[in-house]
Amino acid sequence: MSTQPKAPPTLFALQRWMLAAITDPQGVADALAAKCTQQQLPVALETLEQVILRGPQQTALQRLAIYHTAYFARLLEVLRGLFPCLRYAVGDEVFDAWMVGYLQTHPPCSYTLARLADRLPEYLQTTCPAEWGRFAVELAQLEQAIDRVFDGPGPETLPPLMLPDRLGGDLRLRLAPGMELHAFHFPVSRYYSAFRQGHHPDWPAEEPQWVALLRRDYVVRRYELAQPQYALLKELAGGGTLDNALQAAVAAYGQHVPDDLPAQVHHWFAFWASQGMFVAAE
């Protein structure tokens, strides 16, 4: 049973109480009765006006509810903006339900909304229905990675690297700052492209996809890779020599290494260099 507050609350107690009340997905009225809110300030709905005053045309509850509505509306708007493709893929209702659950589990704690979804893929990994899980998680990971590359460090201020004609085996190539390599179980990049082009793609069947993300001239570029290309670039990204990287690519081919692999590799490097994937050769 709630009791009336005995003395004016401390600022800390009042703020903790208000934050708990306006961030409870069940609504302010339910929040007031909740244990965590009562622990901050033992005020019941009937005695709310001992804390929040009635307004000219609104009750104390209605006034407090404005902040509750705003909290979820604002953060959902942000999350929809960060994950437009995931939202399309699962639909508004499911998306919003997931996001409300996420906000409850991982409430915002950074000064910037850019960090709001940092733990979303991790959250989805543990909460998504099994039949939806991996695709949704990977789509979230892709959209998050695009944002990260977009606003993270980039190569724009660095001079272009001209690759030497002959690439020695002990050469180490440094990838552009911020460049990311991803291996997915679903063709999420292709799905994302279709969505961005205004199509209405269906959920794809499982099919591995390897993707490089690179920013150039402040625009994020996606490159769908073959597995050997991914293996090669991944090895270079880890600081491996060109020889190590080529071995990784050969290993990715398994039993079916093409005869013209050296020519292909030469072609790959020429293309990647033209795209600005490398910033230094050591």
Please list every residue from 227 through 256 that binds another protein, using CB under 8 A.
228-229, 253
The residue from 6, 110, 200, 254 that contacts another protein (CB under 8 A) is 110
Nearest CA-CA partner of 22 in 81, 55, 56, 63: 63
3-class secondary structure, 173: strand
| Closest distance of CB 131 from another protein, Å | 27
Compute the CA torsion angle 208, 212, 213, 214 (nearest 10 deg).
-170
| Closest distance of CB 266 from another protein, Å | 11
Does residue 266 belong to the site contacting another protein (CB under 8 A)? no
Stretch that binds another protein, among 68-76, 94-102, 118-126, 240-248 (CB under 8 A): 68-76
Does residue 109 belong to the site contacting another protein (CB under 8 A)? yes
Between β-strands 278-281 and 219-225, what pairing exists: parallel, antiparallel or unpaired? unpaired
Does residue 223 belong to the site contacting another protein (CB under 8 A)? yes
The residue from 24, 138, 188, 222 that contacts another protein (CB under 8 A) is 222
| Closest distance of CB 76 from another protein, Å | 9
Using the minimum distance from each CB to another protein, give the nearer residue, 140 or 146.
146
197-205 long-range contacts (CB < 8 A, ≥24 apart) are 203/89, 203/135, 204/135
Beta-bridge partners for 219: 216
3-class secondary structure, 3: coil
Tokens (6 digits) for 252 = 């990715």
Does residue 218 belong to the site contacting another protein (CB under 8 A)? yes
Does residue 39 belong to the site contacting another protein (CB under 8 A)? no
